[in-house]
A and B are shown apart, each in its own frame.
Chain A
Amino acid sequence: MLIWVCALHCEAKPVIDFYRLKKSQDQHAFDIYRGDDMVCVVSGIGKIASAAACAWIAASYSGETSFAWINLGTAGGAEHEIGELLQLNQVVDADSGQCYYPAPVAVSPLAGSACLTLSRPSEDYRSDTLFDMEASGFMQSALRFSSAELVQGLKIVSDNRKQQTGKDRQRVSELIHRHIDSIHHQADALLQLDGELAALEPAADSWQQVLSLAHFSQTQKSRLRVLWRYLCNRDFSSDTLLRQLATQNSARAILDTLEQISFRDSEGL
């Protein structure tokens, strides 16, 4: 599942339109827009708001096995052209000095940049980094739920030394919309990675079914999980396995049966 975190509706709009996300009508702490395999949360401005939105959305989808994240928004850059799209490769919190490193798993087609997250707006630009107000809070929180390979920051330059467009909401949406194909490409790559990890976990319903066959101690449950994950990943049909196990009358017998199947299978490497 992919989670988009945007500070403002105007930053989220191009994504909502492109993926035809639907606004959730329920009362929530944050506005969210849902699609099949993604959700977009509008956090409000600032690193604390961004961190809170990440934590809240992760808690709301706690049944998901894996999350990928994109913080999409605008940033200021001294020399960068207005409208330039950059992928963050280093995020520094200006207050604490804490650094975060998103970990790309392939050479990105996008130009990279460091980003300094400030608590207050500033036009005192530096040539070696972008300025924003959310990225460090986003990173700090998202990295609690996912590994760095699944956490990305994408920033579109809205302000530089010569020009400030960040307060013009329609313009911000236009600037982001221009890059929607590149943004989609990044999102697609992240979704694939996320899917790879999620596929390693057995389906929740089959896991619940096997658990219900007997009373397992915590230690037995851990062993069961290892065996079940292995066999499901080796393309054993969970239905066939469950039928086989239905005749076993104890947790120990179930584990013994699954171990014997695993041992036989693994001897072929």
Chain B
Amino acid sequence: MASCVYVETAVRHHPRTLRLLERLHKLPLIEIDHYGEVFNPRSQNFRLQKKNPAVIIAHKNKGQVLAAPEGYGLGGDYNYYFSHMLNCIYDCRYCFLQGMYQSAHQVLFVNYEDFGDRIRQTAAGHAGKPVWFYSGYDCDSLANEPLTRFTDFFIPLIAGIDNAWMELRTKSTQVRAMLKMEPLARVVTAFSFSDAFSHGKLEHGVPTIAKRIEAMRRLIEAGWPVGLRFDPVVYHRDYQAAFVDLLDQLFTQIDGHKLHSVSLGSFRLTRDHFRRVSRLYPEEPLFAQSMHLNNGIISYPLDREREMIQFCEAQLMKHISEQSYQPCEWHG
């Protein structure tokens, strides 16, 4: 349960705020001028806050749509991301969001219309060419769906822009709202998975693998394009057997040839993120493994990484078509 709700005075009576506050009415409410007052100060401990993060309801003034970082995306020429939320309700130890912000509070932006305008303008700037909009960069796209009703606004928006494509990236099972809609070929829901051992050790609060496979299966059945993301693959003694088990579990229920896209990458963080996260969690084995610094990125030593990727790719190719495979290219 969240510890309290902060709300920017300017959006205190916004219809989305009022709906959010109806659901959060049991929590103490604190009015603020700007979310940065609470979210940005340095004297905050992400680890302690993550126990019960607060909810911050805010207005995103600028930068609603940004160019995606190099290497992020599915190979399209025009890649952008947008974040209707900052931070994630889950607590995955490998996630860069742990070191991204000072605060673990969840920021929910309510001015979806401004995001919509920027998405329309951005797509119009590349008329006639496919433009990808990624929503799961600073948050899990669907995890807070009962609160945010993100899909109710953004899927119809994308449907109305002929050259816009959207990826929802998630570890949640919150697909109920999408199952009530007409499927749209240009909205891909990408589910992230780690093997069961890594899931148990590193993905705190994330729904079980079985429940997520079930959510995937229902979306596929309803006609939605679905993707799979094995990113990051984490090294441990039995990662090979565990990865094979995960694939068996997935592909006994899902036809791999019906997937929109599948991507794979090993664990990596920028040096700054790695430092911050490993200071927060000094007892975490993930950060005590043998690592290697390459171009500002900390990852496994090259031979180990190569071995992991080659092994996982070979296993994956037994289940999916080559065309749908997108390796995560980050070495530059």
Contact = CB atoms under 8 A, between A and B. Distances in A.
Interface string B36-68: 011001011100110110100000000000000
Most central of B4, B6, B38, B278 by chain A CB within 10 Å: B4
B52 A147 contact: no
A204 interface: no
B48 A147 contact: yes
Interface string A125-164: 0000000000000000001101111110000000000000
A256 B198 CA distance: 27
Interface stretch (A17-25, A56-64, A97-105): A97-105
A269 B49 contact: no
Contacts of A44: none
A19 to B, nearest CB: 24
Contacts of B288: 227, 230, 262-263, 265-266
A107 B52 contact: yes
Tell me whether chain B's interface is mostly helix, strand or loop, or mixed.
loop
A269 B283 contact: no
Contacts of B1: 107
A248 interface: no
Contacts, number: 110
B234 A147 contact: no
A197 B45 CA distance: 10
Interface string B269-289: 000000000100011011111
Nearest to B46: A147
Contact of A104 (B4, B235, B289): B4
A269 B236 contact: yes
A148 B52 contact: no
Given A89-B4, A263-B290, A149 B49 contact: yes
B190 to A, nearest CB: 24
B51 A106 contact: yes
A262 B54 CA distance: 35
Interface residues of A, number: 38
A186 interface: no
A229 B282 contact: yes
A147 B43 contact: yes
Interface in B217-255: 234-237
B247 to A, nearest CB: 19
Contacts of A227: 288
B282 A112 contact: no
B43 A148 contact: yes
A266 B3 contact: no
A107 B3 contact: yes
Contacts of B198: 269
Given A99-B37, A149-B49, A262-B288, A200 B283 contact: yes
Contacts of A230: 282-283, 287-288
A269 B48 contact: no
A101 B285 contact: no
A17 B170 CA distance: 53
Nearest to A144: B43
B235 A105 contact: no
B185 to A, nearest CB: 39
A238 interface: no
B28 A103 contact: no
A234 B201 CA distance: 14
Interface in B83-140: none
Given A147-B44, A197-B45, A269-B201, A104 B283 contact: no
Given A104-B3, A107-B52, A265 B283 contact: no
Given A146-B43, A226-B278, A267 B237 contact: yes
B329 to A, nearest CB: 26
A73 to B, nearest CB: 21
B284 to A, nearest CB: 8
Given A101-B41, A262-B288, 17 more contacts: A99-B33, A105-B51, A106-B51, A106-B52, A107-B2, A147-B43, A151-B43, A226-B282, A229-B283, A230-B283, A230-B288, A259-B290, A266-B289, A267-B289, A268-B237, A269-B234, A269-B285
Q: Please give me the 10 A-B residue pairs with the lowest Cβ-Cβ distance, nearest first.
A: A233-B283, A266-B285, A147-B45, A266-B288, A143-B43, A149-B48, A229-B282, A269-B201, A262-B288, A266-B289
6 contacts: A148-B45, A150-B45, A197-B48, A200-B283, A230-B283, A268-B236
